[in-house]
Amino acid sequence: MVARLARFVLELDQHPADCVNGEIHPVNAQRDETGKEKEILISGVFPPLVPFSAFALRLLESSMLNAEVKEGEILPPTIQKLMKGYNKYLRPFFDSKETHDYTATIFLRQRWTDERLVFEGNKSLSLDGRLVELLWVPDTFIVDSKKSFLHDITVENRLIRIFPNGTVLYALRITTTVACNMDLTKYPMDKQTCTLQLESWGYNINDVMFYWTRGNESVSGLDTLQLAQYTVEDHYTSVSEAIYETGNYPKLVFHFELKRSILYFILETYVPSSLLVVLSWVSFWISLSSVPARICIGVTTVLTMTTLMMGARTSLPNANCFIKAIDVYLGICFSFIFGALIEYAVAHFSATPASAPASLELTVSPASPSGSEPKPEAAPPEPTNWCLIGLATIRKVLRAIYCCHVENPHHIDNYSRVTFPLSFVMVNLLYWTYYLYF
């Protein structure tokens, strides 16, 4: 799922931490044999990060095209069909459908002080963005960024402004897609907390320190931000350190909490599924003798509910490891609709007249006229134990079926008219209470 954030502004400061005699010196300054500082052109050693990212992005985008073919060579139609949308930089069986990330357009403003750029005057100098190649800039990067690019219409959206005291303002406009771990258990009544982390790539905490210029107020523009499915409930900033094997690096973290708007899902999924459940109850008021009408309502509601579940699933985020709240509600509605169909089967079976029990006739032969008693016949062999157990089981089943016979099958419909709506209301109360308040 992609949550698109519109533009907002980040401001941060970087301060080199190389101190000599209590004074702050840029990290790219060295001393010669005479003890004087000499300047080194850092841009030749550490290329600016943004142009490199733009170039890498163009390279990756070009890889998304079809396979490269020599000029004048035409691929067969079968190969062209296979190569359509093929990306050779992704391994086989790479699952790219599940997107737990967000896309944001950011105005990133960075400030630092470079004493080599001090000049006389009381006005700042606004330079062309292409002159950033001549200056030292911090190597800030976005952690967990999947794709980022610098806007370059009509020119690269970068700004360099130098103040008389040597303070440099470096602003740029970028769009980035950042990963965000989302818990979709309560979807669509979920709240997601995402972060935007900024770190220094090569300078550790002994070289550069990062901090927000105005704390939480360093991030602006979220008050007027309007999103399609989310509302920003809270946001704050923090300062921390990133610990790696090569050392500790400064890190700035921006936290923001997103709450999903449920109105769309109520109108799109919850209301239609609830109406289908109510529609299945119409069969309780139809006579038991109207077999085609009741069967038609039951089967139609079941098939319609199945289609609604399949259509809703295609628009849901692909999270196979989660049982989402909307899946639970659709399962509840399907159970009630299927139960209404089973109710008619039970009522119709009860309305079928049961066959009378078979009568047992015993014939007694008169006594012999000679007065002699008839010769007793040999006793039949006693049945085995398993035969007795089988016969007893059959008698119990037949007796249970005969006891289930209802004298007035219409009472089943009368009970269902009350129990089904009350049960559905109770289940809804439990469902919404749990997912909204727990």
* pLDDT tens per residue across span 263-309: 999 999 999 999 999 999 999 999 888 889 999 999 999 999 999 99
User: What's domain 264-354+391-437's architecture?
Assistant: Up-down Bundle (1.20)
* pLDDT tens per residue across span 14-49: 655 443 333 333 334 343 443 433 333 333 333 333
Q: What's the confidence (pLDDT) of residue 39?
A: 35
What does the alpha-carbon distance between residue 280 and residue 296 come to, in Å, rounded to a whole number?
10
What are the φ and ψ backbone dihedral angles of 365, each rounded to 5 degrees? Answer: -85, 140
What does the alpha-carbon distance between residue 282 and residue 344 come to, in Å, rounded to a whole number?
12
Its sign, for the CA torsion 134, 140, 146, 148, is negative
CATH 1.20.58.390-classified regions of the chain: 264-354+391-437
- H helices, E strands: number in the chain: 8, 15
Average pLDDT, the chain: 78
The kind and range of the H/E element at 60 are helix 49-63
Q: 146 or 38: whose pLDDT is higher?
A: 146
**Both tokens assigned to 366:** 């008169």
What does the alpha-carbon distance between residue 80 and residue 95 come to, in Å, rounded to a whole number?
23
Position 261, amino acid: S
Q: How many CB atoms lie within 10 A of CB 90?
A: 11
**Both tokens assigned to 47:** 């290329």
What does the alpha-carbon distance between residue 80 and residue 92 come to, in Å, rounded to a whole number?
19
Residue 220 near residue 232 (C-beta atoms within 8 A) = no
Tokens 């980035």 correspond to 176
Which is nearest to 151 in space by CA: 220, 11, 54?
54
**Both tokens assigned to 186:** 């309560």
What does the alpha-carbon distance between residue 41 and residue 43 come to, in Å, rounded to a whole number?
6
Residue 14 near residue 210 (C-beta atoms within 8 A) = yes
* pLDDT tens per residue across span 347-401: 888 776 654 444 444 444 454 444 445 555 545 555 456 777 777 787 777 666 5
The CATH class for the domain spanning 2-261 reads: mainly beta
Q: What's the confidence (pLDDT) of residue 402?
A: 57
Position 219, amino acid: V
Q: What's the confidence (pLDDT) of residue 70?
A: 45
What does the alpha-carbon distance between residue 216 and residue 237 come to, in Å, rounded to a whole number?
5
Position 368, amino acid: S
Confidence of residue 56 (pLDDT cuts 50, 70, 90): very low
Total length of the chain: 438
224-251: b or e for each residue (b if 16 or more CB lie within 10 Å)?
eeeeebbebeebebeeeebeeeeeebbb
What does the alpha-carbon distance between residue 164 and residue 115 come to, in Å, rounded to a whole number?
10
Mean pLDDT of 105-116: 95
* pLDDT tens per residue across span 312-341: 888 776 665 578 999 999 999 999 999 999
What does the alpha-carbon distance between residue 209 and residue 16 come to, in Å, rounded to a whole number?
7
CATH 2.70.170.10-classified regions of the chain: 2-261
Label the pairing between strands 158-162 and 167-179: antiparallel
Beta bridge partners of 249: 242
pTM of the model: 0.66
